[in-house]
């Protein structure tokens, strides 16, 4: 039974929905799904390994609502976020007799969430979907905000739609089986969210991470997931389609994205690259803040605190990177995430500034220092 759960309401222009967070919520999902169930078809999109771990639990709660969903398996990894996989799933949905009233359940990490959201947005011009994220990254980042996408050969997430789910159900207990590297990588995104929005959340994060390092207890993340989702949903509610304030969520991503491209997604996790990106952005904010348009440089104390927090994470060694290559990638990155004209700096934790004055030279210096 759920002792308690937190609810966050996300209000975007296109849709309002709830994010529910509670330890053990998976076993009680029928209660939350009930209002959405009208006897329509339900299809779960997941990976086989996740289904082997939690499929029985999910099925046995859904059966209470008389829901006997069809399960569609996709292979693990970024390659599944493709038009090819989407096309194959559209065909399966047709064969199953699905229509616009059918529901999709995304049961997995960010790959499953982004792919399922994209299919839901496009199948018959849009069908509803619910997110049940299973990775920490999906819990704190990808399941909130309605960005859905698939990859094409020219790059990641280049084909997609903003399309909000009907509900997001988060059970931190699912993280028990998540490999630790995935956990640490996602913590970097939590640090990012805290850095740009909330000084007090920033301050309590170090004790959460330290306790997790000592105990490995995943319920320690419940509060951090709640705070991250709350912040992300507040930002997204103000700017659903990233024309303004939502850009602050890209703190650490200009350099991070270029590092990921240079080193290869198999060699560095997204969050690890963002962690280095935040160190660069922190360094620039501390040493060159006012030159880049900040009203004050990030103070020594705050810069030290940011470094201390990030260094609680085990990060891969990137000493051998070619800084010229990183600059090249940043220069040619047309996506907002890597756009040098929208470089996110910090005046202090909770006070981000979108700067167009960060030069390639300064980025290079920051890369050599961190
Ligand atoms: N939509 C957005 O706003 C947004 C934001 C950030 C990232 N993303 C996308 O998210 C994706 C990355 O997501 P991710 O880091 O969750 O990767 P992922 O979905 O590939 O999951 C990582 C690995 O963990 C496994 N896994 C997931 N949950 C598990 C569990 N509970 N127990 C055991 N294993 C588990 C998966 O099978 C996979 O092998 C990328 O495609 C990225 O582009 C989207
Ligand atoms: Zn990210």
List, for residues 354-367, the tens digit of each pLDDT value.
999 999 999 999 99
- Ligand nearest, relative to CA of residue 82: 1
- CA distance linking residue 2 with residue 5, whole number of Å: 7
34/168 same-domain check: yes
82 and 210, same domain (yes or no): no
Out of 151, 177, 203, a domain closes at 177
Q: Which of 253, 286, 302, 347 is catalytic?
A: 253
For residue 215, is it within any domain?
yes
Ligand lying closest to the C-alpha of residue 256: 2
- Asked if 196 and 145 sit in the same domain, the reply is no
The answer to whether residue 1 sits within a structural domain is no
Total domains in the chain come to: 2
pLDDT of the residue at 186: 98
Residues 254, 248: Cα–Cα separation, whole Å: 11
Reported residue count of the chain is 370
- Is the same domain home to 227 and 248? yes
CATH number of domain containing 331: 1.20.1090.10
210 and 150 within one domain:
no
pLDDT of residue 282: 98
For this structure, is 23 an active site residue? Answer: no
Which of 50, 53, 86, 110 most suits a substitution to test ligand 1, by most atoms within 8 Å of the C-beta?
Answer: 110
Are 137 and 192 contained in the same domain?
no
Per DSSP, helices labelled H in 102-171 are: 110-122, 136-137
Query: Is residue 83 within 8 Å of residue 150, measured between CB atoms?
Result: yes
- Asked if residues 105 and 68 have their Cβ atoms less than 8 Å apart, the reply is no
User: Given this model, what pLDDT does residue 28 score?
Assistant: 94
Give the Cα separation of 273 and 324 in Å (integer). Answer: 17
Domain hosting residue 162, numbered range: 6-177
The last residue of one of the domains, among 116, 143, 177, is: 177
The per-residue pLDDT for range 128-167, each reduced to its tens digit, is 999 999 999 999 999 999 999 999 998 889 999 999 999 9
Point out the ligand 1 atom lying closest to the alpha carbon of residue 271: 15
Task: Answer yes or no: do 138 and 20 share one domain.
Answer: yes
In this structure, what CATH number is given to the domain that contains residue 123?
3.40.50.1970
Tokens of 159: 């084909």
Q: Is 351's C-beta closer than 6 angstroms to any atom of ligand 1?
A: no
pLDDT at 2: 43
Do 349 and 229 fall into the same domain?
Answer: yes
Answer yes or no: 125 catalytic: yes
Whether 146 is in a domain gets the answer yes
Q: Closest Cα partner for 144 from 320, 21, 318?
A: 21
Tell whether 336 and 283 lie within a shared domain: yes
Please state at what angle helix 180-197 crosses helix 270-288, rounded to 10 degrees.
Answer: 30
pLDDT at residue 1, rounded to an integer: 41
Q: Is residue 117 lining ligand 1, measured as CB closer than 6 Å?
A: no
Establish if 165 belongs to a structural domain. Answer: yes
With beta carbons less than 8 A apart as the criterion, state whether 15 and 236 touch. no
Query: Is 331 annotated in the active site?
Result: no
Low-confidence ranges of the chain (pLDDT < 50): 1-2, 336
Report the nearest atom of ligand 1 relative to the CA of 145. Answer: 3
The Å distance, Cα 329 to ligand 1 centre, comes to 24
306 located within any domain: yes
């Amino acid at each position: 039974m759920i002792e308690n759960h937190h609810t966050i309401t996300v209000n975007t222009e296109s849709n309002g929905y709830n994010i529910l967070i509670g330890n053990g919520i998976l076993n009680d999902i029928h209660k939350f799904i009930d209002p959405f169930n009208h006897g329509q078809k339900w299809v779960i999109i997941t990976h086989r390994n996740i289904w082997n771990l939690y499929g029985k639990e999910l099925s046995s709660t859904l059966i209470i609502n008389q829901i006997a969903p069809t399960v569609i398996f996709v292979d693990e990894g970024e390659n599944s976020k493709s038009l090819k996989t989407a096309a194959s799933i559209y065909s399966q949905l047709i064969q199953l007799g699905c229509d616009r009233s059918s529901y999709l359940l995304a049961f997995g990490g960010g790959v499953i969430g982004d792919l399922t959201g994209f299919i839901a947005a496009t199948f018959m011009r849009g069908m509803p979907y619910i997110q049940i994220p299973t990775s920490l990254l999906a819990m704190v980042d990808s399941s909130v905000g309605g960005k859905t996408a698939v990859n094409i050969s020219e790059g990641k997430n280049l084909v997609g739609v903003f399309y909000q789910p009907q509900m997001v159900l988060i059970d931190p207990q699912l993280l028990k089986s998540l490999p630790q590297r995935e956990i640490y990588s996602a913590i970097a995104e939590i640090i990012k969210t805290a850095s740009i929005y909330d000084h007090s959340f920033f301050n309590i994060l170090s004790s959460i991470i330290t306790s997790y390092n000592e105990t490995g207890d995943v319920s320690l993340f419940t509060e951090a997931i709640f705070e991250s989702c709350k912040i992300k949903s507040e930002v997204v509610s103000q700017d659903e389609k990233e024309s303004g304030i939502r850009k602050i969520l890209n703190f650490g991503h200009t350099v991070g994205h270029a590092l990921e491209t240079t080193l290869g997604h198999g060699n560095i996790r997204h969050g690890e690259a963002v962690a280095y990106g935040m160190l660069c952005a922190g360094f620039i904010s501390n040493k060159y803040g006012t030159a880049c348009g900040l009203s004050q440089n990030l103070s020594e104390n705050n810069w030290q605190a940011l470094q201390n927090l990030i260094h609680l994470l085990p990060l891969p060694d990137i000493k051998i990177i070619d800084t010229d290559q990183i600059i090249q990638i940043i220069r040619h990155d047309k996506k907002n995430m890597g756009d040098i004209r929208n470089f996110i700096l910090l005046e202090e934790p909770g006070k981000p500034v979108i700067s167009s004055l960060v030069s390639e030279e300064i980025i290079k210096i920051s890369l050599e220092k961190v």
